[in-house]
Structure 1
């Protein structure tokens, strides 16, 4: 009898501390629903992903959902003409994710330089901005065509704890390094529009 009471107590305690959050998914009729998070490890989160093509916004996604603490990041990817900014905001009370994630702040070049890809050559220069302190090399599959991406990234992009969610944006194979032009240039079959394809499919907290 005491064992049964203990088991029920543990289950009820678990439920009591599992947050309820708003879930808003882009393209899902524009409405938000209330969702119970899978476990106590989750917080309520809001994220925003903006992709730019030559400083013109091409993708602007606002997402709300349950989120693990390591998913609450601010990150930046910069492939030259194509840039992606990720912002997020997390909180720890029921239905606290009412406000959208903050808009990315405007950044300026920070002096670091990495190789980038234009046409079939990956020997162009990308001027890193803001907190982009590492060079990145990635391989993506866009429409069955394997293509190379090179540019700048913030440390959050390169962190192993965030690699699973970042890989959904830029592909499963990517590596980062520190030092100017450390992502040595090679040939590529990537076209400019192919750079946007995997980024459009990126949804935080998936």
Structure 2
């Protein structure tokens, strides 16, 4: 009987260690270490001009989303995975191109990355700007949430699928960076940052 109890205890100790998920744990200002995690690893990146911030950590799979939006000067991405040390992957171009705006000119082409499988166009009457770029399905599925969350901005957003489907045109509105607070709010609502 004592041998069986010892066997069960040893099995539990070694088996639980084998089921532990290893993830990188760090941010822009700290060196990455490896951490034991229960369900998922996450990697969140924010490129805003020349400023790049990131967070790599353990995540609860119930609150983990794969989302990405790229507007040229601004790129925000949240990726989740469930294999050892998977939150250190680089995101590469996927073959899709969308139009993006550079100042008042929306005829520039942007190469989409990773899970960005839609083109997005967003305009805001109060913000007096138009932004275009690439977005993941998760962002596009929540466009209604974004539009309804900020009714005072009179935000109008739409997504489409296919190369350069978000039509090129020259715009007279202001700079792209005015939409950063709205995009950050969307990521906050989705639980990404």
TM-score (norm 1): 0.54
Deviations for 1:4-45, whole angstroms, at most 9, x for unmatched residues?
xxxxxxxxxxxxxxxxxxxxxxxxxxxxxxxxxxxxxxxxx9
TM-score (norm 2): 0.57
Cross-structure match for 2:23:
none
What is the DSSP-based 3-state SS (H/G/I as helix, E as strand, rest coil) of the residue aligned with 1:184?
coil
* Alignment partners' CA distance in 1, 2:91 and 2:172: 28
Q: How many residues align?
A: 145
- Correspondence for 2:136 among 154, 160, 169: 154
Larger radius of gyration: 2
- Change in CA separation of 1:74 and 1:145 when aligned onto 2, cut-off 3 Å: same
Cross-structure match for 1:184:
167
Cross-structure match for 2:98:
114
Superposed displacement of residue 185, structure 1: 1.9
* Alignment partners' CA distance in 2, 1:59 and 1:195: 20
Deviations for 1:34-60, whole angstroms, at most 9, x for unmatched residues?
xxxxxxxxxxx9987542124632687
Cross-structure match for 2:19:
none
User: Counterparts in 2 of 1:1-206, with a 5 A limit?
Assistant: 50-54=45-49, 56-57=51-52, 72-87=64-79, 105-140=89-124, 144-159=126-141, 163-164=144-145, 172-186=155-169, 187-201=171-185, 202-205=187-190
Contact 2:43 2:54 in 1 (8 A): no
* Alignment partners' CA distance in 1, 2:129 and 2:160: 19
Superposed displacement of residue 147, structure 1: 1.3
Deviations for 1:76-102, whole angstroms, at most 9, x for unmatched residues?
00111210112468xxxxxxxxxxxx8
Contact 1:138 1:171 in 2 (8 A): no
Deviations for 1:168-205, whole angstroms, at most 9, x for unmatched residues?
59984211111111001231413143242323444135
Contact 1:140 1:149 in 2 (8 A): no
What is the DSSP-based 3-state SS (H/G/I as helix, E as strand, rest coil) of the residue aligned with 2:189?
coil
Contact 1:135 1:150 in 2 (8 A): yes
